[in-house]
Amino acid sequence: MFITPHFTLREMTVSQTAARGGLDNTPTPEAMSNLRLLCQALEQVRALFGRPVIISSGYRSPEVNGRVGGVRNSQHITGLAADFTVFDVDNREVVRRVSESGVAFDQLILEFDSWVHLSVSLAAPRRQVLTIRKGTGYLQGLH
């Protein structure tokens, strides 16, 4: 089932952790509604680069989120966040260009230089840009 033209429910919910642990990773109706908003933002990211966006983690049930070590109040649990890469584009460049674009993100985080975390908000987006590296914690901006 397509949520938006380029993003499916399966890719936004697939989880090796859930499969291995026999955990249900089906979004609630509220999370499903939030996934639509999230995927609309991801469509804008795809259009910005003209390349596929590869999702590594989208919606996570509270059980799946706990198993992967996610924070208790993760926006992944509500369907408002995804971790991704853009095919053949450096992650720092992704963060730079998205942060300078009109994409309505709440948080944009360069995580360990390995992927980008994008979250959206039902309220006015904060447009917060952060970087996290092992041993440093979160740093404001693109470092």
Could you tell me the domains of the chain? 2-140 (3.30.1380.10)
What integer best gives the mean pLDDT of the chain?
96
Q: For 36-93, how does the pLDDT look when each residue is reduced to its tens digit (9 = 90+)?
A: 999 999 999 999 999 999 999 999 999 999 999 999 999 999 999 999 999 999 999 9
d(CA 65, CA 59): 9
Q: Is the pLDDT of residue 143 over 70?
A: no
Provide the pLDDT for residue 139. Answer: 72
Place of tokens 């908000």: 121
Q: For 100-120, how does the pLDDT look when each residue is reduced to its tens digit (9 = 90+)?
A: 999 999 999 999 999 999 999
Strands 128-133 and 107-111: parallel
Provide the pLDDT for residue 17. Answer: 96
CB 76 within 8 A of CB 59: yes
- What DSSP letter does each residue of 37-93 carry, written as one string? HHHHHHHHHHHHHTS-EEEEE----HHHHHHTT--TT-TTTTT-EEEEEETTS-HHH
CB 126 within 8 A of CB 134: no
Provide the pLDDT for residue 142. Answer: 78
Which residues lie closer than 8 Å to 140 by C-beta, 6 or more apart? 129, 130
Provide the pLDDT for residue 52. Answer: 98
Provide the pLDDT for residue 62. Answer: 98
- pTM, 2 dp: 0.94
Tell me the mean pLDDT in the region 3-24.
97
